[in-house]
Amino acid sequence: MFVVDSSRYNTAQDFRMTKRFLRDQVKRLAFRGDRFRMALVEYGSVPRVRLSLMDGDSKKAVKATMSKLRKDVDDPQTWYLHSHKRVRGDPDLSKAISLVDYKVFGQSGDRNQVPNYLVILTRSVGGKKTVEAINKLKAKGTKVFGIGIGLSGTHLQTLETAVSFPASETMFTIEQAKDLMTLSSEFVNFACAAHDYCSSNPCQNGGQCSEGAESYICQCPMGFAGKDCDRSCDDRMDVVFLMDSSGSVSFNEFSKKKEFLQHMVESLNVGPQATRVGIASFSQDARTEVYLDQFTNKHQLHHAISGINYQYGSTNTAAGIQLARSGLFSMNRGNRPDVPDYLFVITDGESNVNAQQTIPEAEKARDQGIHVFALGVGLSDPWELNGIASKPLANNVVRVNNWEDLWGESPKLIDAVCRHEKVCAGSPCQNGGTCMVGPGHYTCKCEPGFVGDNCELDCSASKDICFIVDSSNSVGHRNFDTKLEFMAGLVEDLTRGDMDHRFCLIRYSTSVSTIFSLNRYNDAKDVTHAIRSASYVFGSSNTAGGLRQAIDMFTPAFGDRSSAENIAILITDGDSNHNHQDTIPAAEDLRAKGVRVIGVGIGLRDFKEINAVASSQQDVFKVRSFAELDAMKRNVEEGTCRA
């Protein structure tokens, strides 16, 4: 199918070169045996089908139609009298593509068993409407090629976005129409080249190979995944990809994101009984692109991904997560209750619409049993990604500098969802812990009294633990949230074995507040919710006030137990600057009550004060930045459980 720009932007000489190029393409094609059929649409402000697929089954018919291109179409009764007039009006490629969709493909002469190719010859592309019209065809399996004549700027970028993947093989550009013949022999190869991607039998473990647009596609047997069916794993899972389609993502970057999605789909074993895939996007609002029960093989998904449109607008990540957890992970749309659910959130920017609901929506998704991966491109601050992702963050947050780097992370991501019983080989869980197969790794369900990745830490002795958290000006809102998430993670880990620990939280800046005391909550979920709900109150750094407030907390009136070890965990990013002369005396008075003081210093240049506050050098933990705080959690857990 050729779509030809016949508008006033082409001179008579330029259009003669265009027709010469088209005639040369026809000359190179073998129509015998019904191998090829060709249709033609020319357009200006209004498009017209010059030749249908039903009538374009011979060279003679095609050449005859080409000779009549660029007749005046204003009066269909007299157009044949004006053989040299241009089609009137400015070119509107979007209308021409829409005409192809409802008047050519899918109509008489279009054969189901042969591939459809669309070739666009144009001097201008248009914008969003053109891309959306082309994407609609790509979603139906049409492969789109573009030949741009004298294009520059946004027209060039839009054409690159509109053609099929990869653009390096489907997009051709020349400066002038007279250069078209330099493409002639190369261009026709797209239809004539014989591909047999399956000849090398690339699919392993009994996988069935089929020809794809640019490569082979393996349909794997149950229990295997990977592009070549080379991964042994439990492939029964429901996977949803949530794509950022906001204004911070350009047209070209969004195309790269779609290519990444296709690459990820190639590595899964897509099928109704194996892996089901759903896709949603978000900008100002969220929209469903593919439901879990909509497509049953990789071919269909590839076409669907090609047809996803770029939205532009603000970044409403919360709406996207809400749609994914309620609209896609729904039994009414193919979500299965007996298989794991995985959500990949892919973004290049922080929320700027309904931002306060982003992390709460992610928490709801996780509480619903959805394992969340957060993929960030070009983000300098990971605080929102960390709040979105499942724990541990090291396994579920991916940050890269650009979209190309994201491809290199795909093997790790596929490993993460490709579960296999072998991860529990060797019984890694200690002290009676039970090994549970998880996303790409095992987790240990520990016996009461033990914690740690392998249940190796004996934390059975009762502990009353009070967090003292710095909320001063040097911290900032986002870093304060990082501290809250760090503390909540400690509580979750320290209570995994149903241990008899109590917690309290003190926040300090210029003033000091007790967020909750040791006797306020008995359930770990209530504790973590209260921690994550704490607000940031800026001011000076009154560390002494926080330490003295802790002295009051470790009393029977506020839930302190004589049978429990008392531990205070100070989390700060700077030395005290308010009532600083009392900081060391306050710490000494706290330790004199039998409280072990642990200090967590973030980005400190001078450790003199925190070393003096902590009970010992073993009780001081240092990180260079807030981004490294989560990685220090395991060390602090060990320090807390140390007798």
The residue among 168, 192, 216 that closes a domain is 192
Rounded to two decimals, what is the model's pTM? 0.70
Which segments in the chain show pLDDT lower than 50? 72-84
Residue 198 lies in a domain: no
Residues pairing with 418 in the sheet: none
One-character DSSP codes across 331-342: GGGT--TTS-EE
- Quick one: tokens of 35? 């191998």
Residues sharing a CB contact under 8 Å with residue 253, sequence separation 6 or more, in sequence order: 348, 403
For residues 145 and 195, give the distance between their C-alpha atoms in angstroms, rounded to a whole number. 18
CB atoms within 10 A of CB 624: 11
352 vs 310, 382, 535, CA distance in Å?
18, 15, 19
**Which residue in this structure is represented by tokens 């139609």?**
65
For residues 464 and 500, give the distance between their C-alpha atoms in angstroms, rounded to a whole number. 9
HSE, side-chain direction, 13 A CA sphere, residue 448: 6
Residue 510 contacts residue 470 (beta carbons within 8 Å): no
| Residue 116 structural domain | 2-192
Residues pairing with 604 in the sheet: none
Q: For residue 73, what pLDDT is reported?
A: 46
The tally of domains found in the chain comes to: 3
Residues 250 and 398 in one domain: yes
Of the candidates 237, 226, 245, which has an alpha carbon nearest to the alpha carbon of residue 346? 245
Residues 80 and 168 in one domain: yes
Q: For residue 602, what pLDDT is reported?
A: 94
Residues 169 and 287 in one domain: no
Of the candidates 37, 237, 251, 226, which has an alpha carbon nearest to the alpha carbon of residue 134? 251
The residue among 192, 209, 241 that closes a domain is 192
For residues 379 and 371, give the distance between their C-alpha atoms in angstroms, rounded to a whole number. 22
Conformational region of residue 353, where left means phi above 0, alpha means psi within -120 to 50, and beta covers everything else: beta
**Which residue in this structure is represented by tokens 């010059």?**
50
Q: For residue 189, what pLDDT is reported?
A: 67
Residues sharing a CB contact under 8 Å with residue 418, sequence separation 6 or more, in sequence order: 225, 226, 231, 233, 234, 235, 440
133 CB burial (10 A radius; 0-12, 13-18, 19+): buried
- Quick one: tokens of 191? 């239809």
Residues 123 and 186 in one domain: yes
One-character DSSP codes across 248-302: TS-HHHHHHHHHHHHHHHHTS-BSSSSEEEEEEEESSSEEEEE-TTT--SHHHHH
Tens digits of per-residue pLDDT, 453-504?
Answer: 788 888 888 999 999 999 999 999 989 999 999 999 899 888 876 678 999 9
Residue 324 contacts residue 365 (beta carbons within 8 Å): yes
Residues 465 and 595 in one domain: yes
Q: For residue 288, what pLDDT is reported?
A: 95
**Which residue in this structure is represented by tokens 């986002």?**
478
Residue 449 lies in a domain: no
566 CB burial (10 A radius; 0-12, 13-18, 19+): buried
For residues 281 and 623, give the distance between their C-alpha atoms in angstroms, rounded to a whole number. 36
| 458 SS3 class | strand
Secondary structure string (H, E, C) spanning 386-414: HHHCCCCHHHHEEEECCHHHHHCCHHHHH
Residue 71 contacts residue 86 (beta carbons within 8 Å): no
- Quick one: tokens of 187? 């261009």
Residue 199 lies in a domain: no
Q: For residue 88, what pLDDT is reported?
A: 61
Residue 256 lies in a domain: yes
Q: What amino acid is encoded at 285 in this protein?
A: D
Residues 491 and 612 in one domain: yes
Of the candidates 279, 270, 282, 195, which has an alpha carbon nearest to the alpha carbon of residue 236? 270
Residues 153 and 277 in one domain: no
- Edge-to-edge strands, sheet with 565-572: 512-516, 501-508, 463-470, 565-572, 596-602, 620-623
| 505 SS3 class | strand
Residue 426 lies in a domain: no
- Over its C-alpha atoms, the chain yields an Rg (Å, rounded) of 32
For residues 121 and 149, give the distance between their C-alpha atoms in angstroms, rounded to a whole number. 8
Strands 171-174 and 143-149: parallel
For residues 467 and 474, give the distance between their C-alpha atoms in angstroms, rounded to a whole number. 19
Residues 487 and 590 in one domain: yes
Residues 413 and 490 in one domain: no
Residues 238 and 95 in one domain: no
Of the candidates 483, 495, 472, 528, which has an alpha carbon nearest to the alpha carbon of residue 629? 483
Residues 501 and 369 in one domain: no
**Which residue in this structure is represented by tokens 């949230």?**
481
Residue 581 lies in a domain: yes
Residues sharing a CB contact under 8 Å with residue 11, sequence separation 6 or more, in sequence order: none
Q: For residue 421, what pLDDT is reported?
A: 64
Helices (H) and strands (E) in the chain, counts: 22, 26
Q: What amino acid is encoded at 136 in this protein?
A: K
Question: Which CATH number goes with the domain that contains 527?
Answer: 3.40.50.410
Secondary structure element (H or E) that encloses residue 450, with its range = strand 450-451
For residues 147 and 180, give the distance between their C-alpha atoms in angstroms, rounded to a whole number. 9
Residues sharing a CB contact under 8 Å with residue 502, sequence separation 6 or more, in sequence order: 463, 464, 465, 518, 519, 559, 561, 564
Residues 618 and 491 in one domain: yes
Q: What amino acid is encoded at 622 in this protein?
A: K
Of the candidates 58, 61, 66, which has an alpha carbon nearest to the alpha carbon of residue 30? 58
| 531 SS3 class | helix
The residue among 192, 225, 260 that closes a domain is 192
One-character DSSP codes across 175-212: SSGGGGGGTHHHHTHHHH----TTTT----TTPEEEE-
For residues 387 and 276, give the distance between their C-alpha atoms in angstroms, rounded to a whole number. 26
Residue 384 lies in a domain: yes
Q: For residue 81, what pLDDT is reported?
A: 38
- The maximal CA–CA distance of the chain, rounded, in angstroms, is 106
List phi, psi (to 5°) of 357.
Answer: -100, -5
Residue 440 lies in a domain: no
CB atoms within 10 A of CB 563: 8
